[in-house]
Amino acid sequence: MDPVSDRNAINAAAARSAKWADADPIAAFLDRDGALILDGGLATELERRGADLDDPLWSARLLIENPDLIRQVHHDYYAAGADVAITASYQASFPGLARRGLSATQAAALMTRSVRLADEAREAFWSGLANRTGRQRPLVAASIGPYGAHLHDGSEYRGDYGVSRAQLSDFHRERMAVLGGAGADLLACETIPSRLEAEVLLELIEELPSARAWLSFSCRDGAHISDGTSFADCVALANASSRIVAVGLNCTPPQYAEALVREAVEVADKPVLVYPNSGERYQAVGNRWLPGEGVDDFVESARRWHAAGARLVGGCCRTGPREIEGIARALRRV
């Protein structure tokens, strides 16, 4: 896909990933506070603030056009109480950015920028002494979105890609190397709709020395991920990996979250994470959200997810700083 010279940055990033610490980056938060607060939706919050994301690159478009707005949203989530900012790399891929005319080197630089923006927001937040009261220095998680995200057709909620294991490996390997070497504290392998893709990601993370990640699935009901595979079986698959520090679900209708958390807790001896969407349904045609079945009180629901055993709790699409502030007040023991 790219000339040998363009692979230099990718290879260098893979080498840097060897410097990642072996320590579990989330353990101190759970030991002290009993919960780690995740952020909320990024792309939908950018849209709420006026960004036009009607584009196959979605939030990654702003890595090119308005990185300052991404940085500001990250900062506002930290200020709301989030212990983790998830980067704007969910939709950033080599094929997707190549369609925009970017070389592999330019694409890798944009992915690295996504981590740098979150890190800059963290440092700006942490520089305020008042912000440190009762807090630990927050984390940055580099988003690894599913193959379906770059298709921009909603297939990350179905998993019916029609591609082989080898194709999935080729798609994910290079950007995992780049994001794994960009300086984030861990990888967020998120919105994964199929068991096959989860297997591929678990294989590829073994290629990044000392890397740590969480793995979260998009689910279609209270017992199955989006492709129909048993959620419990997928949790068990992730639980077997020493590189996975947490496993659970995201961008799933919130009415299914409690049942899914209870299933995960029964199977996993790792922390369980949950960050559902608002309950609205995404329609790829027209890039819009349709009414769906949500929950009356997202924060009160988050209390129930935590009581059911979830230890990493936040929100996904159509949730924002207000919800994260409520969750942080409800769950953090300070």
- Residue 19: per-residue pLDDT: 36
Query: Half-sphere exposure of residue 95, counting CA atoms within 13 Å on the CB side?
Result: 13
In the chain, how many domains are there?
1
Residue found by looking up tokens 């992915």 in the block: 111
The residue behind tokens 């129930």 is 304
- In sequence order, the 6+-apart residues with CB closer than 8 A to the CB of 125 are 75, 78, 79, 131, 138
Q: Which residues contact 328 (CB under 8 A, 6 or more apart)?
A: 37, 80, 81, 82
* Residue 142 bridge partners (DSSP): 187
Global pTM reads 0.90
The pLDDT, as a whole number, for residue 140 is 98
Stretch 206-228: mean pLDDT: 96
Two tokens at 98? 């190549």
Beta-carbon count within 10 A of 101 CB: 7
pLDDT for residue 36 is more than 70: yes
Distance of CA 172 to the CA centre of its chain: 15
The larger pLDDT score, comparing residue 178 to residue 160, is at: 178
**Least confident residue range of 157-166, 213-222, 232-241, 320-329:** 157-166
Identify the CA nearest to 37 among candidates 298, 331, 303: 331
The amino acid that residue 137 corresponds to is: R
Give the tokens for residue 56.
């196959």
Whole domain around residue 24: which residue ranges? Answer: 4-331
Q: Cβ distance 202 to 233 under 8 Å?
A: no
Is residue 258 classed exposed, middle or buried when 0-12, 13-18 and 19+ CB atoms within 10 A define those classes? buried
Question: Average pLDDT over the chain, rounded to whole?
Answer: 90
Burial grade of 145 (CB within 10 A; 0-12, 13-18, 19 or more):
buried
Check pLDDT > 80 for residue 69.
yes
pLDDT score for 210:
85
The CATH number assigned to the domain holding 303 equals 3.20.20.330
